[in-house]
Structure 1
Amino acid sequence: MASRIVPLLNRVVIRKLESQLKSAGGIILREKDDKDLQIGQVMKVGTGAMFDNGKTRDMLLKPGQNVLLPAYFGQEIQIDNEKFYIYKDTEILGVLE
């Protein structure tokens, strides 16, 4: 369970979601490739990056947001047979609205 993970500083806990490779009309756009962008849901966020003066920068991400993930970053962890990934907030490519 993601509730057992407490990310530190500017780290976020992500659960990856299956990306849709079909158009709205149901046409398959292309084969899935390991280099394709992935979509994930933010489960938990840390307190923010810490500056040299001891102050922290607020996190831009919030739990529940769907985000675009890069293909080659993030640390995979497994809890109760469920995979989660920990990323730095600066590695997240964007928020899906």
Structure 2
Amino acid sequence: MTLKPLQDRVLIKRLESEQKTAGGIIIPDSAQEKPMKGVVAAAGPGKDKAPMSVKEGDVVLFAKYAGNELSIDGEDFIIMREEEILAVVE
């Protein structure tokens, strides 16, 4: 299935969290928090003739509870408005 976000919405694939600390301690799945970093999988055209500031492939940071989670073909994504994105990682 193909999903194309409308207006200023962005589809984000969450990046995997670290399995180990810097000191080598393995973090169990139950203690891991959801990462607040992801890759833009698709972006809408923008709103009110204003172009989007993110594009497909950008790595972005977002708030912990931003957007709505959904599953497409067994993969988990988040769809959110562009304004909920905090930063682009370069």
Q: TM-score range by the shorter chain?
A: 0.7 to 0.9
Structure 2: gaps of 5 or more residues: 25-30
Aligned residue pairs total 86
Deviation at residue 74 of structure 1 after TM alignment: 0.8
Match of 2:71 among 65, 78, 86: 78
Q: Which runs of 4+ in 1 moved over 4 A?
A: 20-23, 31-34
Report percent identity of matched pairs: 38
TM-score (norm 2): 0.80
Which residue in 1 is equivalent to 2:12? 14
Structure 1: gaps of 5 or more residues: 51-55
TM-score (norm 1): 0.75
Deviation at residue 33 of structure 1 after TM alignment: 4.2
1:41-82 Cα offsets, whole Å, 9 max, x none, are 0011001012xxxxx110000100100011011111111111
Q: CA RMSD in A?
A: 2.3
